[in-house]
Amino acid sequence: MNRVALRSVIGGLRNGGSYISPAVASRNDGVLGAFPWRRMMMSTSAQTTTSDEEEKKKKVNDSVVVSNYWGITRPKITREDGTEWPWNCFKPWETYQADTSIDLTKHHVPKTFQDKVAFRTVKFLRVLSDLYFKERHGCHAMMLETVAAVPGMVGGMVLHLKSLRKFEHSGGWIKALLEEAENERMHLMTVVELVKPVWHERLLVLAAQGVFFNAFFVLYLLSPRVAHRAVGYLEEEAVFSYTEYLKAIENGKIENVQAPAIAIDYWRLPKDATLHDVITVIRADEAHHRDVNHFASDIQFQGKELRDAPAPIGYH
């Protein structure tokens, strides 16, 4: 076998093909010689077309192709009326009816130096947000919720790590704070259905969250009692902001539109619920968060640990 033939054999093997000697090729030229190659090309083309069609069918039937190898499937959940539950972010047993009878006028009067620092800091941030958003209550609520959902997550995370380090229970406070964070996030998911943020508002959210998360994390490590007190004052301002939002709806400055579907299912609102109903239950949640954080701060100002007092689990 000469060098040319040897190169042909090696090249064919490298490319996953089979070797055909020059003699055989010369005998099979013409119509008969072209037939095997045409058949191979047609077969490859058919396989490609079939594969493309199957892929398209998968994309049509299911937006995400899920492998059954791990045995993970989404359970079929239905509402009370038998319709399919549409939400993956929360389940029916995580929904609730907000307690709107809560006292909205409660206020913790700052007494200690730490209280006064926390109070004045929150008031300063409130002035800045009012100057920027003015009477755009929907956008103001969106920004407020992106910040308000941070403290519960930070507090729960720090307590979680502390529990792991010290081999001790948290008294349920990890779950209570994470519930608060999730509840605030659901506020945001609801508000976003009503308000479509523009690019500079999204940029402001990124900046605010980046600064606030790190600042609050450091504050919680240094003084959890001051951190909870600051959140308590922040929630007091949230109650005030949503009260102004409700007044704007009642005065006709903001249209009282239909409530988003996610809000109706999450708060178990009636099917004909409106924006006014949604803001009312969100305000009630914020008032509960106010009480929880002031309560947590009071516990620590008395020189005790959070785990020494019962955690308000389920107290939205």
**Closest residue by Cα to residue 242 from 198, 294, 277:** 277
Q: Are 88 and 74 in contact (CB under 8 A)?
A: yes
Residue 187 known to bind ligand: yes
Token pair of 252, please? 């006709």
CA 112 → CA 23, 123, 262, 298, distances in Å?
101, 17, 42, 12
Residue 193 known to bind ligand: no
**Closest residue by Cα to residue 230 from 314, 294, 159, 182:** 294
Residue 184 known to bind ligand: yes
3-state secondary structure the chain: CCHHHHHHHHHHHHCCCCCCCHHHHHHCCHHHHHHHHHHHHHHHHHHHHHHHHHHHHHHHHCCCCCCCCCCCCCCCCECCCCCECCCCCCCHHHCCCCCCCCCCCCCCCCCCHHHHHHHHHHHHHHHHHHHHHCCCHHHHHHHHHHHHHHHHHHHHHHHHHHHHHHCCCCCCHHHHHHHHHHHHHHHHHHHHHHCCCCHHHHHHHHHHHHHHHHHHHHHHHHCHHHHHHHHHHHHHHHHHHHHHHHHHHHCCCCCCCECCHHHHHHCCCCCCCEHHHHHHHHHHHHHHHHHHHHHHHHHHHCCCCHHHCCCCCCCC
Residue 169 known to bind ligand: no
Q: Which positions make up the binding site?
A: 145, 184, 187, 235, 286, 289
Binding-site members for Fe cation are 145, 184, 187, 235, 286, 289
